[in-house]
Amino acid sequence: MTVDTEPQEPESTAMRFEVVSSALKEGTAAAARVGRLALPGRRPIDTPNFIAVTSRGTLPHVTPDNISKHLQVSGAYFSLEDFVEKSQQNLSRPPPIFSAPTSTNHPTPLYSFTGTPSHITTILAARRLPAVPSPIGNSTKSISVFTNTGFQNLSTTDYLSAASTLEPDITIPLADLTNNSPPGTSPTSKRALRMAERTDEWIVDWFSSPLSTSTSTFAPVLPIPYPIQWEYLSRLAEDYIPSSQLSGLAVHDPDIIPDLATHQPSLLSLPLLSLSNPSNPHLILRHIALGTDLFALPLINAVSDAGLALNFTFPAPPSPGSPPLPLAVDLSLPSFSTSVTPLSESCTCYACKSHHKSYIHHLLQAREMLGWTLLQIHNHATMSAFFGGIQRSIKDATFEDERLSFSRAYDSEMPAGVGERPRMRGYQYKSQGGEENAGKKKNKPAWQKELAVEDDKVEVPETDGGRELQEKGVGEVVKGSGR
């Protein structure tokens, strides 16, 4: 049964969310739904939808002006650890973002410092997505965050102070997460219970302190079984929904949504933001079928870095008897060196209208940043069209049939991508204590000698740099010439 209502614009300064259409059927606890999330001064977000995931305060490879011109992005996920260098306790020098000047177009320090377009909803969390595992773990009063100068402790008090200064539209309070469990595994029951107890204590501390009335709170829902965190979830439903302090949920594992529908149905009146980091559109569709409203998708940045152009639509094209279609094409492959067709025939984004596969293949081979910029524009446009098709199918009561057709039409996983990625940043691989490749360089050298010709060697001083030149076959160290 499909239920439709007309979306209403917010009448106050508070965030508003309402379900416009639901595919809920008799006998099911949760189902796909269409909604509208509206915040004052921001572009309304029709759900299901996704938000962009930033790195160091910006969407990788895309400048703010191009975000406004070429991307249909309504929200952006920021992490506090991207902006801080030291522990936030007893700071002698606050991070520069805290004192960023504001203006009409950039009304808060977060908008001003990052240059985020004013129509985009900002979501602030303590950690990146996905988070780099900490070798020291969390404590009873704080979590461990990966700053520019290494891991530092961040307490609820310090994080609340930072959120009050930056004034994001939505803030996600601290949660006691391990971040290092292998995919498909769960923490031990003892560790899971400690996660629930700590997060419960921290949420009480969070709501006991005043926060800007313009900032909404999305409480974390932990990736552990419902019975272990039922007391924490009951507190959210019974204490913070009636007081209008709780505006949404940040769900780390959408499989818990049916349990919420059964045991805490009032929580499903809130928008559900998934932080589960799905690796392909099939998982996105599965989570939407459970009732997820919003997704933070690091997947898009990852496939762009891999040189992949997304190539799927929803609904899927009819292809009876045909082999599954690839979810993306790897433009670094030599076969695209002479292809003058768009990245996707059905796409109308700037990259597809203005350029072709051969040009982007050349950019990737030359390691020109424009190649990844155009891929970001295309991949975000493809994902926007994908979610638009999902919204229409839910309203038309065809979502489940179209979801099944999609699973048959496309490969189950993204291609790996064989091209060379952009140079890795430290937070993308550090802190993996004891990993086999620890100490090895992650990036290809910016230069190297192609042919070792004895006569080409030059004399270099006996320094670290000189010894590196000698290892490359370019120079020959002169003993005693270093400082």
Binding-site positions for Zn(2+) read 347, 349, 352, 378
449 neighbors 473 (Cβ within 8 angstroms): yes
31 neighbors 22 (Cβ within 8 angstroms): yes
Task: Look up residue 236 and give its DSSP letter.
Answer: I
In the three-class reduction of DSSP (H, G, I as helix; E, B as strand; rest coil), residue 75 is classed as strand
- Enumerate the known binding-site residues: 347, 349, 352, 378
CA distance 475 to 27: 75
Alpha carbon distances (Å) from 412 to 278, 328, 333, 347, 415 = 12, 11, 21, 22, 10
Spell out where 114-222 has E strands. Answer: 121-125, 142-147, 150-155, 170-171, 216-221
CA distance 204 to 210: 12
Alpha carbon distances (Å) from 460 to 445, 450, 472 = 19, 19, 12
Percentages helix, strand, coil for the chain, rounded to the nearest 5?
A: 35, 15, 50
CA distance 24 to 30: 6
In the three-class reduction of DSSP (H, G, I as helix; E, B as strand; rest coil), residue 293 is classed as coil
Exposure string for 281-297, b = 16+ CB within 10 A, e = fewer:
bbbbbebbbbbbbbbbb
Q: What are the two backbone dihedrals, phi and then psi, of residue 47, each rounded to the nearest 5 degrees?
A: -110, 155
CA distance 433 to 416: 25
CA distance 122 to 39: 10
CA distance 456 to 185: 55
Residues making up the chain, counted from first to last: 483
Cα torsion 366, 427, 125, 140 to 10°: value is 170
Q: In the numeric block, which tokens belong to residue 438? A: 């620890």
Alpha carbon distances (Å) from 312 to 325, 339, 384, 408 = 8, 19, 11, 12
| H or E element in which residue 156 lies | helix 156-166
CA distance 109 to 87: 20
CA distance 86 to 95: 9
